[in-house]
Structure 1
Amino acid sequence: MSLLKKLFGSDRSDRVLSHGDYARRYAEHVRRRFPDISVEAKIGADAAASHVIWTTPGGTVARQYFGNWYSRLAGGEDIDLLMAAQLDEALALDAVHGAPELRQILPVIKSAAWAETTRRQLEGSGLDTTNAAFVTRPFVADLIVTYVVDTESSMHFVTAELLDELGLDAAQLHETALGNLADRLTALTIEGGDGRYAMRLDSNYDASMLLVLDRWRDRVPMDGPILVAAPSRDTVLLGAADDPDMLASLAEIARTIAAQTAYPLSDRVLRWSGGRLVPADAH
């Protein structure tokens, strides 16, 4: 089964709306229900970076992000029912205004290329990039860390403006997100054998678990340094660093997956040694 079929289902992959089309269709759904509200779709690099901007007749401006709602569409849910539920939740929870709980903040691994694309789109949108920019920090090689508020039914990125509202600095945000991520360690599993393994979590935060690799390294049945590849958000591959063929093998697999997946990260292979990740080709 191809990776695309694995993600979206063998009989639906060619019928799922793009995240941009979903955003525009949802904006139109809101307009029909509330014709007095101005609703504008802003299309980001992926679904989690896309949102609609609501402007009420009184001048109140708010944003609603998509995240998991679009994923549910790809999973086969009816689009009309999905959009109705999305709008009802926003109205019931006042999600476009309400402050998130700290326990809902999680770290997300992204590629540096994604961050640059998102930055350019934000600059071109006319928004104040000082407040609307996503909070990021370097991770390793061509990967960075950003942060989301995940309520299980919706997801949006932590911006500089939201960080200020939460009363946190960047270091506190990172530690909070890592603590929340570590709470999911009980769901982590390791599959494979003979020096080749894959780490599984929930298809959303698998790659993020590399941020707390020190807390689950002992679950991988290999001694000594290991090689790691994270070609997509839901794929983390591990191999024995003392295998002379492992680096080339992981690199080839990572390139293939990164080229096919809807959520690519990096085709670089990393090395875990001495309690930290470094690029394997720099060792």
Structure 2
Amino acid sequence: MKQTWFITGVNSGFGRHMTEQLLARGDRVAGTVRDLDSMTDLKARHGAALWLAKLDLTDTPAIRRVVDQAFGELGRIDVVVSNAGYGLFGAAEEMTDEQITHQIDTNLIGSIQTVRAALSHLRTQGGGRIIQLSSMGGQATFPAGSLYHAGKWGIEGFIDALGQEVAGFDIGCTLVEPGAARTNFRYQSAQLSPKLDAYDASPARMAHRMIEERTSIPIGDAAKMAEIMIASADQHPAPKRIALGSDAYNVMHKQLSNRLAALEAQKELAFSTDFGPGM
């Protein structure tokens, strides 16, 4: 059965792959971009099946206006994909206040407001699906990624809790946690902090070198990942999380195992702070 999807950031990366695959199979896509000219080719090929709107996720009133417009013009939207975002890398002390604000406004607040804007429509129509793009960086951390992780860990907590709030409305929520994929995320859209000499010997500097020198080739196939994301919309119940990429699995498994082991070691300490029986 044909479905209608709302996807932020459809001009590149996972958003572009998903949009191309969905249109090819006959679905409709309502997509948002910051530059409408970047979608001229797909619009020419698919016409009315591709609904487009200009949107900057740092503009909260515009998010609600565009989401309302998409539901109003297209009627039922089956799946909302909060995809748009970018990476900011460098030591926390090196980043400018403006960089920090823009990163959180885009990756965290923009994602939250996109989902919030869709909820009343999904409830009214009797259900739907929310797919939130996170990252292996939503469960694991790396030096130079402090602000990127802040956004991804934040959106994971939001979606986890939201899923419990809206399950009774037949709205399913899924977090997607890809590893490194061959998109423009790392070598085109990623932003770097200014440099402080004090961090030249810090592990944080490796991110600058990797991105500036393009020394690492991502292992993940973005088209395969997009296919799995699309297929997840037909799974019932909605999967809470989807890990994509061997790097994502390995890194998250190691760090989650270490965190669980550290928690287990503190069990006696944690229980010792309770009031005693009858107190």
Q: TM-score of the superposition, structure 2-length normalised? A: 0.27
Q: Is the helix fraction higher in 1 or 2?
A: 2
Q: TM-score of the superposition, structure 1-length normalised? A: 0.26
